[in-house]
């Protein structure tokens, strides 16, 4: 059984209040303002992904990432190491090796297994990898980054599943899988890019209706000259922080 998310400030009852899961900003040298903003008191953060070398921890400790991780840790923010499963193509041993470097160098609190396969046939291998991660880390928070609704059995191995990752044009017409209604919102995450400011409230309502407590919405898209829309903050960051922090979206 997974280790369920423990209560955080703003938690009511047994479920988390809506908050942010940051998929991973650009390197702190490129995006210093973004990383600094994450330590602002009162920002409703569930966790932040650290992706040092684009697809993992890199070959050696990175001084700027060490500093950024230290600042987040001092602010009480949960840090997850980015592990790229390549939809099941990467051997489990490579993922565990990367995880060990994240633990040793950056003292991460858990892991996001990005590009995680979603099919039933891949579940045993993912389960073995997660079991090993739990064996080498005292109490890791595990997020499986499918980006779509996976076979339901994956939820048994993880604390959270990313059940949507994509564009606003797809998100606004999306539907949650029926089986997710049997589980609390704290188990699910949605990442949506290209959300216009004028549709922000609509996006928040969709997340609430579909039962996802951890979100990241941005107006950035690939068309902004970046290869990854998650690498910088949305232009309406202060607005969405205010909405989530005051419970407007609840």
pLDDT digits 0-9 by tens, 216-229: 999 998 754 556 89
CA 224/CA 219 separation, integer angstroms: 10
* 137 pLDDT higher than 90: yes
Ranking 7-16, 29-38, 150-159, 236-245 by mean pLDDT, the lowest is 7-16
Across the chain, mean pLDDT equals 91
pLDDT value of position 247 = 58
* 1 pLDDT higher than 80: no
Q: 146-173 pLDDT, tens per residue?
A: 999 999 999 999 999 999 999 999 999 9
Question: In this structure, are residues 144 and 157 in contact, taking their beta carbons and an 8 Å threshold?
Answer: yes
* 60 pLDDT higher than 60: yes
pLDDT value of position 112 = 98
Residue 189: φ, ψ to 5°: -130, 145
pLDDT value of position 17 = 85
pLDDT value of position 54 = 83
CATH architecture of the region 19-245: Alpha-Beta Barrel (3.20)
pLDDT value of position 159 = 98
pLDDT value of position 48 = 98
> pTM above the 0.85 mark?
yes
Domain ranges in the chain? Answer: 19-245
Residue 77: which of 44, 51, 125, 105 has the closest Cα? 44
pLDDT value of position 5 = 37
Non-local CB neighbours of 244 within 8 Å, separated by 6+ positions? 17, 18, 19, 20, 44, 204
The full length of the chain comes to 250
Question: In this structure, are residues 217 and 234 in contact, taking their beta carbons and an 8 Å threshold?
Answer: yes
- Token code pair at residue 7: 């209560």
- Percent of the chain scoring above 90 in pLDDT: 86
């Amino acid at each position: 059984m997974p280790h369920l998310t423990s209560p955080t400030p703003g938690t009511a009852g047994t479920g988390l209040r809506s908050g942010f899961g940051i998929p991973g900003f650009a390197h702190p040298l490129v995006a210093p303002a973004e990383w600094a903003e994450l330590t602002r008191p009162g920002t409703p953060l569930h966790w932040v992904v650290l992706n040092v070398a684009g697809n993992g921890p890199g070959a050696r400790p990175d001084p700027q990432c060490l500093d950024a991780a230290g600042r987040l840790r001092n602010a009480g923010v949960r840090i997850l190491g980015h592990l790229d499963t390549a939809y099941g193509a990467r051997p489990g041993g490579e993922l565990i090796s990367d995880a060990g470097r994240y633990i040793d160098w950056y003292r991460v609190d858990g892991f996001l297994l990005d590009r995680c396969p979603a099919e039933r046939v891949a579940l045993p291998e993912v389960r073995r990898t997660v079991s090993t991660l739990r064996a080498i880390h005292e109490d890791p928070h595990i997020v499986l980054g499918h980006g779509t609704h996976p076979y339901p059995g994956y939820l048994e191995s993880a604390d959270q599943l990313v059940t949507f990752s994509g564009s606003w044009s797809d998100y606004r017409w999306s539907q949650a899988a029926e089986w997710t209604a049997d589980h609390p919102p704290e188990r699910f995450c949605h990442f949506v890019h290209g959300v216009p400011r004028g549709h922000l409230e609509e996006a928040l309502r969709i997340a609430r209706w579909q039962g996802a407590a951890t979100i990241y919405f941005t107006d950035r898209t690939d068309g902004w000259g970046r290869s990854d829309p998650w690498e910088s903050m949305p232009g309406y960051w202060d607005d969405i922080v205010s909405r989530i922090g005051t419970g407007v979206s609840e």
